[in-house]
Structure 1
């Protein structure tokens, strides 16, 4: 069973999903994560109620802060679409469901790209900071705004190119009716996603000595600590998810459903961990902003 219904229309997808074995386990895992994400997002907006100019810049300077802010807005938009979609299904308003169908998938794809991009960027940042942390590097060797911008541009371009190549390959396979290649395409896709996770785990393992204070030459800033905690938190959350999926797999659950859960959970796990870490680190954000104001005032 492969999750590539040809045509991708609403009726074809619904018909396709109706024949997928053990699909209810997808709802059992993703449903609670989706509800938790909504609650955490509401808590995040409630906690960060102070003026915008007092919000500390995110660790990788304003570029990543803008990425996170945009992703949260898109996630909010997705929540609205899903709510309207659910209401339309409940009241059997088919034309609304049809109108929302493609915007929903486009929004999901944007969240997927931004999630993968953020994961790779913080992994690269964590690895670079690890080597700087245990070296005698001068401040001039630290990441600059243009370097971060170039890195994010390369990562985003690679993400789009990767998905475009796989999508074109999929279209060619369907047009030539070479359905045996569909499994190969899905294996490539899952393999690339698994490489992202291994990269994240490697960067998270490098942060543990820094978080524990081993060999500190310079005290990391609050923003850097936030990235360290996010990297480790995302890695641990995904590790727990993997253990759950291994357990379900040992019970004979459809492996394609487990793969779909593994891919889809990324859209929620990263968002949940990032927002929780920022809520828990709110005190440090405020203190950092106040220190900057005091330093600027003393210079004047």
Structure 2
């Protein structure tokens, strides 16, 4: 089979295409033919060598696949079923019990940047009915992260105000889920062109954060002085203070990303004085993903795909991600 592999010490120049032996499913496993994957910031960190992995690690946590063989004892799937991967294959339901990425595809284990993958039958959920493999491949990391932040850690409901940051995968899904729930959305971007696209997707208000450095206060004003109910926070320490400024008393912040750094100063007094809750979010469980797929099927939602690259051009796909010119998800066809 053909695979992408990250050679030490990492970097796009060390992302190579190789041929390896086809895997075979063990008892309790399924063999899937990977049809598509999609790029996430976590994958980018692995490929660049920022997250240490063994030499030759196959990257990519997302996979949309067709079952082509089943091992002994498999009952959940049959040949021909269309499935999507889990970011945390061992987290089936309930509260997460162990931090770390030892089982995460493309990190602690080989991922879906390959034509074939053998994995436990519990490492997949079904795809949304009627979706293409390319569409479904956008869901396991970015969409589920937004879903858990908005509907598990808090309960976004009709009429709520949701603040989303930028135009990456998580933020676009958060906007779409918010509108699906009947919520109102304030979106930030540094690109006036992208702001128009955000409005076309349903954003009720947009803020250029470069032109309006105090965008948190502006968002608060746009709600009529009430404040937003939910912030999908992808920036980290560089944006946290503005997110707090945007929140209503008793609001919720889903802390998801660290695009501005991994540590920094946080105005803790503002957090507790306004009774704001912050939830650290790292994707979600199998049950969360199943619930998300059910909700997607009950709507007419479709993912926003920026561009598609064949597996042979995986380095070019990551270079496009690094350019920050994309709007929505970048997909690999395999």
- Fold conserved (TM > 0.5)? no
Structure number with the higher helix fraction is 1
- TM-score of the superposed pair, with normalisation by structure 1: 0.23
TM-score, with structure 2 as normaliser: 0.22
- Name which structure has the greater RCO, CA cutoff 8 Å, separation 6+: 1
* Greater Cα radius of gyration, structure 1 or 2: 1
